[in-house]
Chains A and B, each alone.
Chain A
Amino acid sequence: NAGVTQTPKFRVLKTGQSMTLLCAQDMNHEYMYWYRQDPGMGLRLIHYSVGEGTTAKGEVPDGYNVSRLKKQNFLLGLESAAPSQTSVYFCATGADDYGYTFGSGTRLTVV
């Protein structure tokens, strides 16, 4: 089925470790987004991309980096994880007529 796939689904990191979250889409959408959602809160935009090779900062970009080398993939990197980055991370893609499609999320715990 067409959609947005996030890997991994769960991860536990130690403070200072690094990791990369992968978002893959097969809908040929131009726009891709990374959000984080803390318990009981709404989603906050970390970084986004309006096309292959482009990235831009969202509301809460500090401590994260992103890359969009291929249109279908959007990577979110944490270079040195901190407990404050414990959250659920959602990737979304966007197109004009159908709203935004979200992945199922990555639950990250930093200890």
Chain B
Amino acid sequence: LAKTTQPISMDSYEGQEVNITCSHNNIATNDYITWYQQFPSQGPRFIIQGYKTKVTNEVASLFIPADRKSSTLSLPRVSLSDTAVYYCLVGGFLEAGNMLTFGGGTRLMVKP
């Protein structure tokens, strides 16, 4: 399983763009990169997933360089409600026995 490294915490202000970078140097060819968001007392929630280049949805963008050894989650114009822990996960998806390994995540604090 590819190990991931993220900053422990980040602070931002409302309206700013937030970029959280995740390192995954030993990512495998078949691995996808997935980001989850977790609010206190709730289970993690899927945000975005990608394999290479750039992926965008209504919530965030995910930038993946050509070597795929890192990825950056971009949250445009954050609000107070984006205060949460963000997890970067790397792994395959369909293979029997596949499982997700969560690191410590990045605790994002959005201030007014």
User: Which A residues are closer than 8 A to B by beta carbons?
Assistant: 4, 31, 33, 35, 41-45, 48, 50, 56, 58-59, 90, 92, 94, 96, 98-105
Contacts and interface: CB of A to CB of B under 8 A. Distances in A.
A92 B102 CA distance: 13
Interface of B: 34, 36, 41-46, 49, 87, 93-94, 96-105
Contact of A58 (B45, B93, B99, B105): B99
A50 B96 contact: yes
Nearest to A105: B43
Contacts, number: 54
Majority secondary structure, B binding face: loop
Nearest to B93: A96
Nearest to B35: A99
A102 B45 contact: yes
Contacts of A94: 93, 98
A104 B46 contact: no
B46 A98 contact: yes
Contacts of A41: 104
A31 B43 contact: no
B96 A100 contact: no
Nearest to B45: A102
